[in-house]
Structure 1
């Protein structure tokens, strides 16, 4: 399960941290950072929030995605219990933690509350340290800990494979409780694993393409001029963060507010347009993978609702 990394713009090659033993109800997170434009228009990995108007061929609505995540957590927990181990379910993070700014902070009110997100990173880290699953696994004897991880993830990462659009290959065991839960939900585990990893990688690839687009570079110039008028000399959001990284909280918030205000001079709109365009192009280029992921998720909803309903019986 992915957890957000340190604040700042997404760099090519950057990946979110993987926490092996944490089960959560929150939406699975694609590679991103807490701070750096509000999520852009819907793309390959973005779900609509309206159940009534859900497109059977499109992504499942956000509320259904939460049900899928909850059902997978419940099925994994029950599988681990049968193997003789305990797991505790997490809770969804607050709304501010779900906001992602992979390019530039463009929400002034968010910036006033969180700066570049260092407080949210600290909150996530504290939650991870307090996670009962982490404490439980850490307290197991070495041989039991190894057995726990094998029961959860399989003995070795083999059986499932996904070749990523950005390059490289991801592999995972087809055995273990994680795979068992996903097989029960999605049916065709190999196709689910492959298509879901490919679609998730499109988010990273889309953000990389936006940051490399000449239109993004051009839009940075008036943004940087606006920053200079407010006393900052950084020419990119990343360098602005670096310039205040060792300063106190007040300096972080002031810089983030300046970044967000200056983004209103055209950078935010350019970013949203580029994000949507590159997202549409990637969705078209990998339409078969996107369609497969969407089909399997829609097919799993009825099963997921039954699993969640049984939790309260």
Structure 2
């Protein structure tokens, strides 16, 4: 199942390879705070890919092309704001297509598994790009005082002013000042509503995946998958334990295990996963329909400004 993932790293025990988020701008050290929520929630979490709405009007989600437009416009506006504040910021490029795939339940793409195993090679490529990222080099080269000023200009001095209560528990906060907020205010208008709705909708990804993995239908579908896996020479009752069994034995073993996982997923687990993911996604979208609708509405409303900003880039 191909679902947009969150930034992460390959390690034994992960249920899925999670590689990178498409960003047109690599921003270092984004500042936000979270109280009482799960580990790993940050303000840089990617947008939830929910089941497409049957309503083709503005209440539905924007297209993938429009979302890329919004990301590009936000990148340009943030860069220009930082330049006005006396700092430099470089625009990034989208990563290769293979890095945009993640498998939060089970690897089910045999060709991808043959090429990448569980994705450790992609994580290494991401890490290599981060080490050479001009924004990271620039910030690292600033004095402590200038670095603090850079982060304050980007994110605001303190994570105060914006708040989102997450469906999974906890509260996220961010400054209403700084270039990030200035940019989003210009694009989306109501910054407080944008911050709240976007964080709530992002959190639904985590909830959806957690519900799928707790669903009895998922557990039942694992049994024939595990039997198939044993016939392939691997002993594991979940994808997570398969990764643990591979450990750090080497690239060849990683690829062999990933191919076996993907091949055995074709015997029903992949289809069950798609069904459960869609069902729980629909249920969560319905339960939080006001937040989903608000985010969609604000994104549609931001498109005219985004088009003008991107068009101005080429003038």
Identify the match of residue 306 of structure 1 among 287, 305, 308.
Answer: 308
Indicate whether 1:235 and 2:242 are aligned.
Answer: no
Deviation at 1:229, TM superposition (A): 0.5
For 2:51 and 2:119, the matched residues in 1 are separated by 24
Unaligned runs of 5+ in 2: 31-43
**1:247–1:225 distance in 2 versus 1, CA, 3 Å:** same
Identify the match of residue 30 of structure 1 among 46, 52, 57.
Answer: 46
Query: Tell me, what secondary structure is at the counterpart of 2:243?
Result: helix
Partner of 1:186: 188
Cα root mean square deviation, aligned:
2.3
Deviation at 1:45, TM superposition (A): 2.8
Unaligned runs of 5+ in 1: 32-43
Contact 1:216–1:271 under 8 Å retained in 2: yes
Contact 2:16–2:106 under 8 Å retained in 1: no
For 2:159 and 2:119, the matched residues in 1 are separated by 34
Deviation at 1:10, TM superposition (A): 5.8
Query: Tell me, what secondary structure is at the counterpart of 1:170?
Result: strand
**1:105–1:55 distance in 2 versus 1, CA, 3 Å:** farther
Q: Higher RCO, 1 or 2 (CA under 8 Å, sep at least 6)?
A: 2
Indicate whether 1:126 and 2:132 are aligned.
Answer: no
Deviation at 1:296, TM superposition (A): 0.1
Identify the match of residue 197 of structure 2 among 173, 192, 195.
Answer: 195
Partner of 1:36: none
1:244-302, Cα deviation, whole Å (9 max, x unpaired): 12111111001000000000000000000000000000000000000000000000011
Q: State TM-score, norm by structure 1.
A: 0.88
For 2:188 and 2:288, the matched residues in 1 are separated by 20
Partner of 1:6: 9
Deviation at 1:46, TM superposition (A): 3.8
Partner of 1:89: 91
**1:127–1:282 distance in 2 versus 1, CA, 3 Å:** same
Query: Tell me, what secondary structure is at the counterpart of 1:183?
Result: helix
Query: Tell me, what secondary structure is at the counterpart of 1:160?
Result: strand
Contact 2:222–2:238 under 8 Å retained in 1: yes
Contact 2:77–2:183 under 8 Å retained in 1: yes
Partner of 1:208: 210
For 1:273 and 1:233, the matched residues in 2 are separated by 26
1:188-235, Cα deviation, whole Å (9 max, x unpaired): 000000000000110111001000111101100000000000111110
Contact 1:68–1:304 under 8 Å retained in 2: yes
For 1:124 and 1:213, the matched residues in 2 are separated by 33
